[in-house]
Structure formats: structure tokens, C-alpha cells
Amino acid sequence: MDYFDLNMRLTEEDLDMKREAHAFAEEVVRPISRQVDLLSAEEAIAPGSPLWTFIKKAYQLGYHTLFMPEEYGGQGLSPEQMNLVFEELAWGGAGLASIIGATCVPFVAACLTADDELIEELVIPYCECRDGSIIGCWALTEPNHGSDYIASEGFFHDPEIRNDLQARRDGDEWVLNGQKSAWVSAGTIATHGLLFCQIDPSLGMAGGGICICPFDLEGVSKGKPLEKIGLRDLNQGEIYFDNVRIPASYMFCEPDYYPEMLELILASANATLGIGSTGMARAAFEEALTYARERVQGGVSIIEHRSVRQRLFSMFTKVETCRCLSRAVIELNFNVSPPIPEYSLAAKTMCTELCFQVANEAVQLLGGYGLTRDGFVEKIFRDTRSALIGDGNNEVLQAYGGNIIAGEYPRRAEDII
Ligand SMILES: Cc1cc2nc3c(=O)[nH]c(=O)nc-3n(C[C@H](O)[C@H](O)[C@H](O)COP(=O)(O)OP(=O)(O)OC[C@H]3O[C@@H](n4cnc5c(N)ncnc54)[C@H](O)[C@@H]3O)c2cc1C
């Protein structure tokens, strides 16, 4: 379906960018996403897998720099343009789009340091990479800590509760020991990671630090790629650290600024997942609309039934709701500093929930065909189920958002830059 866009301010340049991203999503992302979905997690990352074709093509076209600042080699897109492009990629396949969302995270974070050496050493080579040989990930979750990073309740400051990954200063280096969980997106294919670790145990989880770690250093090892029901085209897996030594400059955030930095990164990730869900919801709706026009029962296309039209309209409304919210939140939170987390939380939880409803309704509208692997809708249904958990279980994010609005809402305009 050729979409009318509710936003009348989009320029010809915006629309061209969106069309280009749509063509890439249709010709490359969608078919490869479906192929990789059918492979085992090991097969998906084996040499010759279509996953590598996707990564190479995406890097050749510069999609890995989608969220990177222009001054360091990024595409220089406005938040609105990032939104338009990322929605299209997720429309093609949410797992592959998530790789694009994850790969840049350590390098975007390195830009925040404004440290010329880090930028020269890490950011510029990443932006210039065109063969997919530099892949990033962000590793927060640990076997013993998932929601703990988000819940932000009293235990965040409890010295008895600590990150598994420990960092110890030794001269000009930091020494890392511990493990990140199997949920790390792009974890087993990444060459670099943004790691969240424990620096000051006396402060509990609030005493954390954030560093960049190249994964070719001695002592880094990876687990097996994770098998799961949804987002099978998104590689995920554990990473282990055994006396891994990084230069001191790679630890760019220490406990004094850790809670704020954690909130900033989570707010950016949650806002982005809002866009991804919009793309998935739109894909499910379009599949349902096409099928309703084609499927004949009782001598007429099922779209002739008033109740079917009503169901389609309800799906359409949910897609547009996702779009409006996710766009508004990206425009806000990619323009202000620091981002305002309650809006990112609203976008993530509402868009993933509505997307899940739309995917479920699409399966129902396609009848038995909706359950088969011949169609695309059952994949979206599985993918969108995962999104209710990824980047934070929705109910935990809602509780966190509730704490914010109970305590600090409304914000004062003068506090926002
Ligand atoms: C598709 C996907 C991609 C991901 N990508 C990444 C990534 O790139 N990097 C990374 O580090 N991690 C990643 N994750 C991990 C993700 O962030 C965690 O799975 C998520 O935070 C939940 O943690 P958990 O799975 O350990 O669940 P748990 O925290 O163990 O939660 C289990 C249940 O307990 C409930 N619960 C937990 N704590 C509380 C509380 N305080 N109050 C009330 N209820 C509570 C939860 O709501 C949930 O229902 C990804 C996950 C998915 C599914």
C-alpha cells in the first residue's frame, strides 16, 4: 500500500529517503529476513548465510551510520528522517532492523565523549566501514540482572546487589571479569561492545560504569547464538570476559554520571523500539488488507463484509497511533538533552502493545493461512511478541514511567535544553 503520510511537513528529500529505504526493505531486508528466520541460530551466522549478504549491503549503503552524527561520517539525518528510514527497515524485517539499531550503539556512545582519540580510533573506522566487518552491540543484561537495570527502585543503591561484570582499575587500564547474558543483540557477531559494569560495589548497581570493549582482546569469548521463537533474524548471545584489559580512556562513564547515562541510553533505545514496532504493525496491517481483497468466501472477497472492514479500520487506526507517538517522541528526545524518559517509555510500551494487537488481528483475519509459514504474518506475530520484552518488559517500564510521573511530572521547560 502506498501510504498517505499524516505529516504534511515532509519535504521531497524526506520522501525520497523514505522511498529509497522502502525499496531496500522490500528487495533486500524482507526476503533475507524470511530466509534467516527459517535457519537455526548457528546456521544464521555461518559463513555464506544470507545474514552476511544483508549486513554487507546495509553497510555499503551506509545504513549502519543512520544514527551517527554527520561530523564523524554519519548521514546527517534529522530525527524525523531517522524515523522514516528505520520504520521502513522494520517494515522489511524487525530482526535485521534491530541489528542496524544495535550495531551503532558503542560508536554513538563514543561520540558523546567528544574524546578525539576515541573518535579517531573507533568512530571514524566504523563510519567508513563498508563491508560489515565492524559490528557493535550493547551489553547491559546479565544472567542475574534483567529488569534490575530498569526498575530504578530502592535496590538500585543496595550494595548487596551488584552487576556480574566487574571492572577493576589497574594503572592505565581497566580489567574486566564476568559475563553478559544471552540476550545481547548481535552479541555473537559483534566486534565491539558497549559494556555496563560494576566499578564501585559499595554503591550497588548505581556504582556502575560504561566502557567500550573491542572483542578481539585476549580474554573475550562468546556463547552459542540463542534459539528463540521471535526475531530469529536477530542474532543474540552471551559474551564472557576473563581478565580483559582495556585502556583507561575506553571507560568513559564512571559512577558519578552512571545513572544519568544509563537513563539516556535506555530512553534512546526505547524510543527507537517505538519506531520499529510501527514498521512491524504497518507490515501486518498491509498483509491483512491485501489478503482481505484477495480471499473469496461465499462468492465475494472478504473485504466486502462490513465487519471485516471494521476490523481493518481498527488496525489502521492502531498503526497510525503508533506512528504519531513514535515520531513525536523521536523528534522530542533526539532533539533535547537529556532525553525525557517518560515519553520514550510511553512510545515503547504503547507501540509494542498496539503492534502486538495488530499482528494478532492480522493472523485472525488471514484465518488458517495466517498460521502458516508461507505467509509473513505469523513471523510478525512472533517478532512482535519478543518486542514486549526486549529493552525492558513492558510492565516494568510502565512501573518505571509511573514512578517518574508521580515524582517529577510535569517537567519545567527551563530544565530542558
Ligand atoms: C528481542 C530482545 C532484544 C534484546 N536486546 C538486548 C541487548 O541488545 N542488550 C542487552 O543487554 N539486553 C537485551 N535484551 C534483554 C532485555 O532487555 C531483557 O530481557 C529485559 O530487560 C527483561 O529482563 P529478563 O529477561 O531478565 O526478565 P526478568 O527481569 O527476570 O523479569 C521476569 C519477570 O519478572 C517481572 N519483574 C522483574 N522485576 C520486577 C520488578 N521489580 N517489579 C515487578 N515485576 C518485575 C518482569 O515484568 C517479568 O515478567 C533483549 C531482549 C529481547 C527479548
Under the banding of pLDDT at 50, 70 and 90, the label for residue 2 is low
Average pLDDT of 363-389?
97
Among the candidates 96, 112, 128, a domain finishes at 128
Q: pLDDT tens digits, residue range 93-104?
A: 999 999 999 999
In a domain, 307, yes or no: yes
In the reported structure, the alpha carbon of residue 125 is separated from the centroid of ligand 1 by a whole-number distance in angstroms of 32
Average pLDDT of 268-274?
96
Residue 153: all three cell numbers together: 527502585
Q: Looking at the structure, do residues 244 and 293 belong to the same domain, yes or no?
A: no
Residue 121 has pLDDT above 60, yes or no: yes
pLDDT of residue 415: 60
Which amino acid residue places its CA nearest to atom 37 of ligand 1? 147
Q: pLDDT tens digits, residue range 292-338?
A: 999 999 999 999 999 999 999 999 999 999 999 999 999 999 999 88
In a domain, 142, yes or no: yes
In the reported structure, the alpha carbon of residue 146 is separated from the centroid of ligand 1 by a whole-number distance in angstroms of 4
Around ligand 1, the residues with Cβ closer than 6 Å are 102, 138-141, 146-147, 151, 183-185, 231, 386, 389-393, 395-396
Ligand 1, atom nearest to 387 Cα = 1
How far apart (Å, rounded) are the C-alpha atoms in residues 223 and 198?
A: 21
Average pLDDT of 385-389?
97
Among the candidates 82, 102, 128, a domain finishes at 128
Mutate to test the pocket of ligand 1, among 147, 163, 189, 384 (most ligand atoms within 8 A of CB): 147
How far apart (Å, rounded) are the C-alpha atoms in residues 212 and 236?
A: 18
Ligand 1, atom nearest to 155 Cα = 41
Ligand 1, atom nearest to 394 Cα = 47
Q: Looking at the structure, do residues 348 and 250 belong to the same domain, yes or no?
A: no
Residue 363: all three cell numbers together: 493472523
pLDDT of residue 195: 98
Residue 410 has pLDDT above 90, yes or no: no
pLDDT of residue 230: 97
Q: Looking at the structure, do residues 266 and 383 belong to the same domain, yes or no?
A: yes
Please give the mean pLDDT across all residues of the chain. 95
Mutate to test the pocket of ligand 1, among 135, 183, 222, 355 (most ligand atoms within 8 A of CB): 183
In a domain, 298, yes or no: yes
Residue 173 has pLDDT above 70, yes or no: yes
pLDDT of residue 414: 60
What sign results for the dihedral spanned by CA atoms 197, 352, 67, 238?
positive
Which amino acid residue places its CA nearest to atom 42 of ligand 1? 396
* R_g of the chain, CA atoms, integer Å: 21
Please give the angle made by the CA atoms of 80, 343 and 353, to the nearest 5 degrees: 90
Residue 359: all three cell numbers together: 499482528
Residues 302, 311 contacting (CB under 8 angstroms): no
* pTM, entire model: 0.96
How far apart (Å, rounded) are the C-alpha atoms in residues 110 and 318?
A: 36
Among the candidates 210, 236, 257, a domain finishes at 257
Average pLDDT of 228-235?
98
Q: pLDDT tens digits, residue range 66-97?
A: 999 999 999 999 999 999 999 999 999 999 99
Here the CATH number for the domain that contains residue 61 is 1.10.540.10
How far apart (Å, rounded) are the C-alpha atoms in residues 104 and 121?
A: 15
pLDDT of residue 288: 98
In a domain, 39, yes or no: yes
In the reported structure, the alpha carbon of residue 147 is separated from the centroid of ligand 1 by a whole-number distance in angstroms of 5
Angle of helix 30-37 versus helix 50-60 axis, rounded to 10: 150
Q: Looking at the structure, do residues 71 and 183 belong to the same domain, yes or no?
A: no
Q: Looking at the structure, do residues 265 and 290 belong to the same domain, yes or no?
A: yes
In a domain, 332, yes or no: yes
pLDDT of residue 224: 97
* DSSP β-bridge partners for residue 180: 239
Ligand 1, atom nearest to 105 Cα = 8
Average pLDDT of 113-136?
95
Three-state SS string across the chain, please?
CCCCCCCCCCCHHHHHHHHHHHHHHHHHHHHHHHHHHCCCHHHHHCCCCHHHHHHHHHHHCCHHHCCCCHHHCCCCCCHHHHHHHHHHHHHHCHHHHHHHHHHCHHHHHHHHHCCHHHHHHHHHHHHHCCCCCCCEEEECCECCECCHHHHCCHHHHCCCCCCCCEEEEECCEEEEEEEECCCCECCCCCCEEEEEEECCHHHHHHHEEEEEEECCCCCEEEEEECCCCCCCCCCEEEEEEEEEEEEHHHEEECCCCHHHHHHHHHHHHHHHHHHHHHHHHHHHHHHHHHHHHHCEECCEEHHHCHHHHHHHHHHHHHHHHHHHHHHHHHHHHCCCCCCCHHHHHHHHHHHHHHHHHHHHHHHHHCHHHHHCCCCCHHHHHHHHHHHCCCCCCHHHHHHHHHHHHHHHCCCCHHHCC
C-alpha 237 chain-centroid distance: 15
Which amino acid residue places its CA nearest to atom 50 of ligand 1? 390
Query: Structural domain of residue 407, as residue ranges?
Result: 259-415
Three-state SS string across 336-368, please?
CCCCCHHHHHHHHHHHHHHHHHHHHHHHHHCHH
Please give the angle made by the CA atoms of 90, 91 and 95, to the nearest 5 degrees: 40
* DSSP β-bridge partners for residue 251: 211
Q: Looking at the structure, do residues 237 and 285 belong to the same domain, yes or no?
A: no
Ligand 1, atom nearest to 137 Cα = 8
pLDDT of residue 29: 98
In the reported structure, the alpha carbon of residue 391 is separated from the centroid of ligand 1 by a whole-number distance in angstroms of 7
Mutate to test the pocket of ligand 1, among 108, 141, 144, 238 (most ligand atoms within 8 A of CB): 141
In the reported structure, the alpha carbon of residue 293 is separated from the centroid of ligand 1 by a whole-number distance in angstroms of 39
Which amino acid residue places its CA nearest to atom 26 of ligand 1? 146
Q: Looking at the structure, do residues 216 and 72 belong to the same domain, yes or no?
A: no
In the reported structure, the alpha carbon of residue 87 is separated from the centroid of ligand 1 by a whole-number distance in angstroms of 24
In the reported structure, the alpha carbon of residue 389 is separated from the centroid of ligand 1 by a whole-number distance in angstroms of 6
Lowest mean pLDDT among 146-160, 252-266, 280-294: 146-160
Q: Looking at the structure, do residues 248 and 266 belong to the same domain, yes or no?
A: no
